[in-house]
Amino acid sequence: MSITLDPVREDGPGQRLRWALADCWTIVRRELTHLVRQPTIIAWQLGFPIVSVLLFVYVFGSAMDVGGTTDYKDFAMPGMFTMTMAFGFMNTAMAVAVDKDRGVIDRFRSMPMAPSAVVTGRGVSDVLHAALDLAVLAGIALVIGWRPGGGIAATLAAFALLLVLRFALIWVGVWIGLRVKNQESAGNLFALAFPFGMISSVFTPPSMMPDWLGAIAMWNPVSSTAGAVRELFGQPMATSGGSWIETHPLLMAVVWPVVVTAVFLPLAVRTYGSLSR
């Protein structure tokens, strides 16, 4: 059997779009196959938030007073969902770094596939992966007694905002993954991700931190998403002074991801393009 494509003409724009979608789907299927083949990966990735929440709720929980009448469990669960989304960019960075390291990205680039599919496929599959993560975490949260109190529409909106944060951070992950030297350096990202996830309202209200740290935490995009989902779950955080950033979490949970995407999507695309320089 001899298979060759007709090499003499370029595809038209419509044909190219069709291939871009088809290639994206092929890459998504590849990533989903990874998940099916390595279910333990999900377990490992979710290990950290699950252990954190058990620690915070059961070990520190009794000593935690987050203000108001809020049960600490209701405070920590939305925080854990948000933190998992925030740390997700490391998975993206790692997967991109591995593909780059192993030459898989070079192979894709030497093929007549749509170049955009490498990135769009990654985006779609990471969001699907994140949705699966959230489903598992929500199940665990329900088991230990957490209940969303804002109605079905609000609950769905909360999960949508969580995925929006994860989506925005995909571009940070792609950018970092393309820039790091190798997959080991990508593994070291945890040192960066940990303060990014923790210096926020995820487990403690910023108003209880030293002023300067609290300010950083309030303006951390992670805090805005955490604040927004708490509101949508009907478990808003008691804010102290009522600073603007803390009183507009819903708005900022949309604005921050848009800003992050606006900055890092072009950066990621540019870095991908500069692989040929």
Partner 1 sequence: MHHDRPTDHAVLAEGLHKRYGKGPSAKPALSGFDLAVPAGSVYGLLGPNGAGKTTAVRILATLLTADGGRARVGGHDVATQPRLVRRQIGFTGQYAAVDEILSGRQNLEMFGRLFHLGPATARARARELLEQFRLTDAADRVVSGYSGGMRRRLDLAASLVLAPKVLFLDEPTTGLDPRARNEVWDAVRELAAAGTTVLLTTQYLEEADRLADRIAVISAPDGEGGRTIADDTPEALKNRIGGDQVEVVAAGPEHLAAVEKVVARVGRAAPRTEAETLRVSAPVADRVEALTEVARQLRDEAVDVVDLAVRRPTLDEVFLRLTGSPAENTTRSEGADGAGTTSQEVTAA
What residues line the site for partner 1 (CB under 8 A)? 1-5, 7-8, 10-11, 19, 22-23, 26, 29-30, 33-34, 37-38, 101-104, 106-113, 117, 275-277
CB of 43 to partner 1, least distance (A): 16
Backbone torsions φ then ψ of 28, nearest 5 degrees? -60, -45
Q: Report d(CA 245, CA 176) in Å as an integer.
A: 28
Q: Report d(CA 71, CA 50) in Å as an integer.
A: 18
CB of 240 to partner 1, least distance (A): 48
CB of 98 to partner 1, least distance (A): 8
Nearer Cβ to partner 1 (20/136): 20
Residue type, 53: V
Exposed/middle/buried for residue 27 (C-beta within 10 Å: 0-12, 13-18, 19+):
buried
Nearer Cβ to partner 1 (2/69): 2
**Helix, strand, or coil here: 185?**
helix
Q: Report d(CA 165, CA 256) in Å as an integer.
A: 8
Cα three-residue angle 238-241-242, rounded to 5 degrees: 70
CB of 17 to partner 1, least distance (A): 13
- With CA atoms as reference, report the closest residue to 274 among 98, 28, 109: 109
CB of 118 to partner 1, least distance (A): 10
**Half-sphere exposure of 117 toward its Cβ, with a 13 Å CA cutoff?**
22
Nearer Cβ to partner 1 (103/210): 103
Nearer Cβ to partner 1 (22/156): 22
81, 162 Cβ separation under 8 angstroms: yes
Nearer Cβ to partner 1 (5/63): 5
CB of 37 to partner 1, least distance (A): 5
Nearer Cβ to partner 1 (33/188): 33
